Amino acid sequence: MNETQLIARVIAGDRLAGRELYDMHASRVYSLAYRLSGDAEKAREFTQDAFIRAFSRLSQFRGDAAFSTWLHRIVVTVVSNARRSEIRFGREVALDEAHSIEATAQQAEPDLRECIARAVENLSEVYRTTLIMHDIEGYTHAEIAGILGVPEGTCKSRLSAARAQLRQDLAAFKE
Amino acid sequence: MDENRFDEVIRDLPQSLNTPSEPPLDEMWKVIEDAHFNSPASTRRPGGMNSRAPWLAAAAALLIGIGIGRYVPLGNETQQSGNAASAVASTQRLAAGADTSAIADAYRDQTSNYLGQAAALLISLPPQNASGKADAAFAGKAADLLVTTRLLMDSPAAQDPKLRSLLEDLELVLVQIARLRGERNKGDLDLIHQAVEQGDVLSRLNSAVVTNQSSE
C-alpha cells in the first residue's frame, strides 16, 4: 500500500494504517523534535502532539507537498510554540535565578560541547531551526524551504547567518 | 578558534549536540492511538458533511436553519410557529437563495455564541493538580461544543482563515477535554493546558469574540 492509500485509510478510521503511517515517519519526527528541544521527554510529547494534530487534520492534506513535508511543518510549529511559551515563562523567573546562574558560571570553564550548545541556543529561532535541520539532521535546503514555507534562497542565507553567529560566539573559545 | 577547527565543529554537530535517544515508538503510539482512534470525538470522516453521516447533515441543516430562521426577514410569508417549522421554512429559503446578508448575520451570531461558550469553558478549566470531580461535566460540555465546532468548520463561517485556524485548534483541545469523561491520567490536564497555551488559544478566542461582535 502506498502512502496516499495509507492516508486515505487513516482518514477512514483504519488504525492499522495509522500505525503504518506513523512507523514510516515517527523516528525522523522524534529525532527532529529531540534536536530542537534537547530533551527526551519533550521530544516524546512534541512527537505525540504533532501526530495527533496531523491525523485530526489529515482530511485537509491535499497532497500539494509531500506528506513528510506537511508533517514536519507541524512538528516545527509545535516545538516553536512550546519554546515561545518557555521563553515567556523563563523571562519571569530569570531575575530570581540570575544570581545563582552567575555564581555557577564563574566556578568552571565550560567545555567545547557546552559552549556549542549555548551558542546554538542563543541563535534566533529561525536561524537555530535552519541550522539544526541542515547541519545536524541533514535536511536539504529544498526540504527545509518546503517545511518552513520560505524560498530556498532565504533558507541558505539563514544558514549562512546562523553559522556566522556561531563562529563569532565560539571565536573566544580556547581548548 | 580558527576556520579549520570551526569547520570540524560544524561537521561534528550531529554527534555533539542533543544526540537523540532511541524513540519510545510503542509508548508514543499508544497515546496517539488513544487520542485519535479511541476518542468518541474522533469519528470525522472525509468529504463533505453529507458523505460523512446523513444524520449529521440533517442535524446541521436543522441547527443552521433554526439560526437563520430567526434572522431572515419573512416578508409576506406568514410567520410559522415553532422552531422546527421555522427551520424547515428557513432552510427552504436558504435553498432558494434568500438574502445573503441575513444568512451571514445568522452564521455570525451562531459563531459569537459558540466562541463565548468555548472561551467560558477554557477559562473555567480546572488547574493541573485539581481532582477529577468536575471532569464529567467539562467533558460533556466539550463534546457538545465539539459538534458545533465541526459544523462551523464545514460552514461558510470557516471561510475566514483566522477563524478556521482557531476552530482547528479548538477542535484539538475539545477532543482532549471530551476524553476526560473516563479515568484521567495525571498528565491529561497538563496536556490540555499546554495545548491551550501553545496555540495561544485563549487570546485568539478573545480576539475572535471581539472581532465577531464588532462586525455585528
Mean pLDDT on B159-175: 82
Q: Both ends of chain A: CA-CA distance in Å?
A: 53
Mean pLDDT on B180-191: 67
Q: Do A116 and B24 touch (CB under 8 A)?
A: no
Which residues of chain B lie closer than 8 angstroms to A85, CB-CB? Answer: 197-198
Q: What is the grid cell recorded at B75?
A: 416578508
A150 phi and psi angles, rounded to 5 deg: -130, 160
Q: Does residue B23 or residue A99 have the better pLDDT?
A: B23
Banded model confidence at residue A127, pLDDT cuts 50, 70, 90: very high
H or E element at residue B112: helix B100-123
Which one of A53, A84, A121, A170 makes the best mutation probe of the B interface by having the most chain B beta carbons within 10 Å? A53
Model pLDDT, residue B206: 83
Q: Do A120 and B42 touch (CB under 8 A)?
A: no
Percent of chain A residues past pLDDT 90, beyond the cut: 58
Q: pLDDT of B3-12, one tens digit each?
A: 788 888 898 8
Model pLDDT, residue B113: 84
Spatial separation of the C-alpha atoms in residues B194 and A52, rounded to whole Å: 14
Instruction: Name the percent of chain B in helix, strand, coil, to the closest 5.
Output: 70, 0, 30
Banded model confidence at residue B77, pLDDT cuts 50, 70, 90: very low
- From A106-120, B178-192, B194-208, the region with the lowest mean pLDDT: B178-192
Which one of A11, A56, A123 makes the best mutation probe of the B interface by having the most chain B beta carbons within 10 Å? A56
Banded model confidence at residue B47, pLDDT cuts 50, 70, 90: very low
Q: Do B35 and A81 touch (CB under 8 A)?
A: no
Least Cα distance to B114 among B67, B83, B152, B63 occurs for: B152
B69 touching A (Cβ < 8 Å): no
Model pLDDT, residue B62: 53
Q: Which residue in chain A has the smallest CA separation from B176?
A: A52
Model pLDDT, residue B134: 66
| The model's pTM | 0.54
Q: Do B35 and A53 touch (CB under 8 A)?
A: no
The one-letter amino acid at B75: G
ipTM of the complex: 0.83
Question: If you count DSSP H runs as helices and E runs as strands, how many of each does chain B have, helices first?
Answer: 10, 0
Q: pLDDT of B86-112, one tens digit each?
A: 444 444 454 455 455 666 677 777 888
Please say whether the beta carbons of A75 and B52 come within 8 A: no
Does B75 have pLDDT greater than 50?
A: no
Mean pLDDT on A149-167: 93
Spatial separation of the C-alpha atoms in residues B155 and A127, rounded to whole Å: 39
Residue B7, Ramachandran bin (φ over 0: left; ψ between -120 and 50: alpha; else beta): alpha
Q: Does residue B23 or residue B112 have the better pLDDT?
A: B23
Spatial separation of the C-alpha atoms in residues A85 and A46, rounded to whole Å: 14
Give the Cα-Cα-Cα angle B123, B152, B50 (nearest 5 degrees): 140
Write down the mean pLDDT value for chain B: 71
Which residues of chain A lie closer than 8 angstroms to B13, CB-CB? Answer: 116, 135-136
Please say whether the beta carbons of B146 and B178 come within 8 A: yes
Please say whether the beta carbons of A112 and A169 come within 8 A: no
Model pLDDT, residue A120: 92
Spatial separation of the C-alpha atoms in residues B92 and B113, rounded to whole Å: 24
Which one of B2, B12, B13, B190 makes the best mutation probe of the A interface by having the most chain A beta carbons within 10 Å? B13
Banded model confidence at residue B82, pLDDT cuts 50, 70, 90: very low
Spatial separation of the C-alpha atoms in residues A37 and A57, rounded to whole Å: 24
Percent of chain B residues past pLDDT 70, beyond the cut: 61
Which residues of chain B lie closer than 8 angstroms to A57, CB-CB? Answer: 168
Does A169 have pLDDT greater than 80?
A: yes
Model pLDDT, residue A139: 94
Q: Does residue A163 or residue B196 have the better pLDDT?
A: A163
Spatial separation of the C-alpha atoms in residues A142 and B209, rounded to whole Å: 39
